[in-house]
Amino acid sequence: MLLFPSSFGCVYLNTGSQLDSSAWEEIKGYWVDKGIPWSGPNINGVVTVPNGSRLKLQTLAVRNEQLLAGPEWSWIAVDEAHLMKQEYWDVLKTRARRKVGSRKVRVYGLSVSPGHYLVDEFVTNADEHHGCIQYTTYENAHNLPEGQITKYENQFPAGPLRDRYMLGKITAVEGTAYTELVEHLDDYLIDPKAIPSLDNYGYGQDLGLVDPHVLLEGGLGHDGILYIIREYYQAGMDIIQHLPFLKDMYREGWPVFSGHSATQHSLMKREGFNMFNAYKEVDEGIQLVRNRIHLKGLKISKACKNLIREICNYKIKALPSGKEVPEHDFSHSPDALRYLIAGIDRDSIF
């Protein structure tokens, strides 16, 4: 927006520390790299570029929203807008007179969860003067370190997180967690008799007493595909009651990636199970499963009825804070699958 002569824009930051340190240094570094001259900042913190355009940095870290009062801006940019209180936004948006450049507001950075006020502002109630132009990571490639785009592509090959972080979309993440699998379910199911010989075995376990206790058995084929071969799924029993059934499934020596319970782990170790604490970071674990799904690296035996039923109904919900979490219903088998895949693909156990 500084390309428009005599425009006066403002960048709002959420914290005073950002204003005092990192933000201005990053802007100066970018201008130096691109050979853009500037003067200032002056006593009011305003920087001027040769075409007369001016830029001011301000912070939202104030107790009195009236401190946000000021001149009309040609444009406003807000860092981490999804964290900004709506009353601040309502004050700020009246400051933009929209007399230069695009008559639409461009949204940079992370999008927000459905129901967030910015979704209503830019999508639901948008008009010709106040709509959302999505800004993708690819358009920002010149500002990113070499190789960062490839890293993001590998980290987010498919699903809502790719749409959000790579494509800048405001994504409706509340819904089935593994949409690609659900929409093409037959591609991921295999008849038990068609499962090939496997090289390595592993187990994912979700502990339960009132909730179901789940143990999934998986194996890696020569093609690198993870085959989920068998399942144990039973509720309403304690670990002592589960043990005989678990032992019937277990191939001695192979790893069991399990939810954390010192007592249950101790009992299972005593019975000869090779126990590992599962990696339980939910967001990353779900993405690891999505990666397997997207790369066609997962096959589920048609005999695993409970896993198939639950994974097709496993949903993500957005909390009022914007944080995305799985719903508890139908989470037991998908949790066990997530533990197993994280153990193989993240911890490289084999």
Q: Where are the domains of the chain?
A: 8-165, 179-346
| pLDDT of 308 over the 80 cut | yes
Q: Which residue has the higher pLDDT, 153 or 193?
A: 193
* pLDDT of res. 71: 57
Spatial distance between the Cα atoms of 297 and 220, rounded to a whole number of angstroms: 10
Mean pLDDT of 36-45: 73
For 288, the enclosing helix (H) or strand (E) is helix 282-294
Spatial distance between the Cα atoms of 58 and 79, rounded to a whole number of angstroms: 11
Would you say the C-alpha torsion 125, 130, 131, 134 has a positive or negative sign?
negative
* pLDDT of res. 232: 97
Mean pLDDT of 145-171: 67
Mean pLDDT of the chain: 77
123 — pLDDT class (breaks 50, 70, 90): low
Would you say the C-alpha torsion 213, 350, 292, 141 has a positive or negative sign?
positive
329 — pLDDT class (breaks 50, 70, 90): confident
Pick the CATH number of 179-346 from 3.40.50.12160, 2.60.120.260, 3.40.50.2300, 3.30.420.280: 3.30.420.280
304 — pLDDT class (breaks 50, 70, 90): very high
* pLDDT of res. 103: 41
| pLDDT of 156 over the 80 cut | no
In 3-state terms, what secondary structure has residue 67? helix
| pLDDT of 295 over the 50 cut | yes
113 — pLDDT class (breaks 50, 70, 90): low
Least confident of 25-34, 169-178, 282-291: 169-178
Which residue from 255, 342, 256, 333 is spatially nearest to 300, judged by alpha carbons? 333
User: pTM of the predicted model, to two decimals?
Assistant: 0.55
| pLDDT of 68 over the 90 cut | no
Task: Specify the amino acid at residue 238.
Answer: D
* pLDDT of res. 109: 44
* pLDDT of res. 60: 64
| pLDDT of 119 over the 70 cut | no
| pLDDT of 111 over the 60 cut | no
| pLDDT of 189 over the 70 cut | yes
| pLDDT of 135 over the 70 cut | no
* pLDDT of res. 159: 63
305 — pLDDT class (breaks 50, 70, 90): very high
What is the token pair recorded at 226?
């993870």
| pLDDT of 288 over the 60 cut | yes
